[in-house]
Amino acid sequence: MARRDGGRLCRTLIDEIDRLSPTRNRWRPSFQPVVAQLDGCLARGPKETSYLRGAVAAMKPHLNWHRAPPNPALGRFDRHHAFSTIVGPTDRVPSDSLMLGLMIVDRATHYPGHAHDADEVYLPLSGDAVYHVAPARPGRPRDGRYLPIPAGARHALWTGDVPELIVWAWMGNIRGGYRIAGAAR
Ligand SMILES: [Fe+2]
């Protein structure tokens, strides 16, 4: 199932990127404490994602970093993550059907199990996190491989000794719900 869904999500993502208009909104840079880890994330990682780490380095001064709304269910994750949305309805590259951005999760941090109505793809650029997309077993994609997360599938991650840098994309029902679903282990 995961492989078939992965192909569908990847084709959808490519189609959405092909449809992006040349219009660009202004960058609106902002910062979060965990973003101090970004240079370290960009300096390490597999060769398969080095071209993307270079692209992130070029955008670094412009990125708008935010945190998820405060939620006790997020625990330590709340103050130990940041995300930057590059493509989206009100973001640098406008789209009403695709959201695409970056996320940093600090070392030794659990992003609790959650689910949403949008389809998602994760592409880890740097780090050693373990990912869990139910009902599959926890694991880590091979270097340079993406992780498909169909709408409604509960997913979580745990970082290890270093922070994790991820490219993420939301497709489909990007204005739908988001639910914290509790710890997956
Ligand atoms: Fe997600």
pLDDT digits (tens, 9 = 90+) for 15-53: 999 999 999 999 999 999 999 999 999 999 999 999 999
Distance 183 CA to ligand 1 centre (A): 14
- Rounded to 5°, the CA angle 121-122-123 comes to 120
Beta sheet of 155-158, edge-to-edge order = 130-133, 155-158, 110-116, 178-182
Distance 40 CA to ligand 1 centre (A): 24
Are 11 and 18 in contact, with CB atoms under 8 Å apart?
no
Which pLDDT tens digit goes with each residue over 68-117?
Answer: 888 888 988 999 999 999 999 999 999 999 999 999 999 999 999 999 99
Distance 43 CA to ligand 1 centre (A): 25
Distance 35 CA to ligand 1 centre (A): 20
Rounded to whole angstroms, the Cα distance separating 182 from 185 reads: 9
How much is the pLDDT for 70? 86
Distance 131 CA to ligand 1 centre (A): 11
Distance 120 CA to ligand 1 centre (A): 6
CB-based neighbours (< 5 A) of ligand 1, an ion: 120
Distance 41 CA to ligand 1 centre (A): 20
Walk me through the domains of the chain, giving residue ranges and CATH numbers. Answer: 2-19+31-174 (2.60.120.10)
Provide the residue type at 166 as one letter.
I
For the cut 90, the answer to whether the pLDDT of residue 54 exceeds it is yes
Distance 117 CA to ligand 1 centre (A): 9
Q: Kindly tell me the burial class for residue 122, based on how many C-beta atoms sit within 10 Å of its own C-beta (0-12, 13-18, 19 or more).
A: buried
Distance 23 CA to ligand 1 centre (A): 27
How much is the pLDDT for 1? 42
